[in-house]
Amino acid sequence: MGDRVLVAGPARVKIDPGPAPGPVAGFRFAGVHGGLKTGGRRDTALIVADSPVPTAAVFTRNTAAAAPVVVARKHAADGLAQAVLINSGNANAATGSTGLKLAEWSCRELGTRLGIKPGLVLPCSTGIIGVQLDRRRMARAISLAADALGPRRANACGRAMMTSDAFPKWASRSVLLPGGETATVAGLAKGAGMIHPGMATLLCVLVTDAPLSSGAAGAVLAEAVASSFNSITVDGDTSTNDTVVLMASGLTGGEAIRSRKSAGYELLATAVGELTDELSRMIVRDGEGATRVVNVLVEGAPADADAERVARAVATSTLVKAAFAGGDPNWGRIVVALGNSGVDVNFKRVAISVDDVALVKAGELLSEEARRRAARVMKNDTFTLAIRLGRGPGRARIVTSDLTEAYVRFNTAYS
């Protein structure tokens, strides 16, 4: 789908994600105001399969994992799930045993409402850290969400997941499988701040009617997350609540996709990868205070792992990100980040370009005219910073945003 119409707002760049995904066979959605947020804003999202389905999930690497992550990890371990319950406005993180008991209770409460086992529910939370969830309000929210379920309510569901997001994030793809069946893959995501490789303050639920086994779903999801949600950064902070879930109803029919060798695996993996890449770029676009999205591409490293270390060093550098905000091709700051990456860099071989403008060659600025041309390109809301090290075949990409005064203002008063 790509980027839609951009609308300049107060210190934010908004994006119209287009229409929400339509029905996906075997799934229903809901998004309601249950009283967890003020002002009547939707705060409880629900995705439910008609029956237990093959499921894969990836969670935060932060060791201070939130209560719902602890519970969801346990429930997803057997590769089956039927419902994803998401509340926004409260992360239920740093809430101790009380928060853990509430996350477990929420699964039982929803299970009772839907007539399913609590172990088939994956709970997710997002919002303020360190504040206990109100059980009475959560019970009301669960009841309302269960009553609101429908196949065409992905719009409401996506909006109920939002916290500091400026816009909802959703996308879908159709995949023609080898047997002639057309499968649908749809994704709903949220995220704007605390975004960093190793995932971020993000939640994402992907649903498909393709006949995926839980093992194949796990392989597909791992590949997709590595090149999307784990390849973005906004502010260098990894959250306590990150969760990405893939559920497959199999109702499109056709030959089962059980492994990488199965017919249809590559087609479906490509579609899921494209979908998560699109959603992850929306998250960077929506970075708190962000006005620019920058692709930091590193080539010519000794190995891919080295390229990734260099790309992350550049993409997370406060000085470099501030230069992005000012549209300033300050290549000296980039060199400093290269030197801090821990990778052995021969600076006499370094070449840097901004889109198609060559800025640095053999470790030196080409000309003042090159710098001025690069500065003009950096006024765009999206551009690529390419760094070539001349040391080998290693290659990596990290997508980052600029760092503006608006980010600081926003995060001095988030509550």
**Tokens representing residue 28 in the block:** 């229903």
Q: Is the distance from CB of 268 to CB of 347 less than 8 angstroms?
A: no
Helix (H) or strand (E) holding 415: none
**Alpha-carbon distances of 55 from 58, 171, 215, 241, rounded to whole Å:** 11, 19, 9, 18
To the query of whether residue 201 is one of the catalytic residues in this protein, the response is yes
CA pair distance 99, 95, nearest whole angstrom: 5
Contacts (Cβ under 8 Å, ≥6 apart) of 351 = 358, 360, 361, 362, 387, 388, 390
b/e burial code for range 233-260 (CB count within 10 A of at least 16 → b): bbbbebbbbbbbbbbbbbbbebebbeee
Q: Specify the DSSP class assigned to residue 152.
A: T
232-233 and 80-90 strand pairing: unpaired
What is the residue whose two structure tokens read 């060659």?
361
**Alpha-carbon distances of 232 from 195, 254, 255, 361, rounded to whole Å:** 7, 35, 35, 27
What is the residue whose two structure tokens read 């009301």?
140
Q: Is the distance from CB of 284 to CB of 234 less than 8 angstroms?
A: yes
**The one-letter amino acid at 59:** F
**Other beta carbons less than 10 A from residue 300's beta carbon:** 19
CA pair distance 376, 396, nearest whole angstrom: 25
CA pair distance 104, 174, nearest whole angstrom: 35
Q: Specify the DSSP class assigned to residue 39.
A: T
Among 95, 184, 201, 243, which one carries the catalytic annotation?
Answer: 201
Q: Is the distance from CB of 128 to CB of 91 less than 8 angstroms?
A: yes
What is the residue whose two structure tokens read 């999202």?
45
Catalytic machinery residues: 201
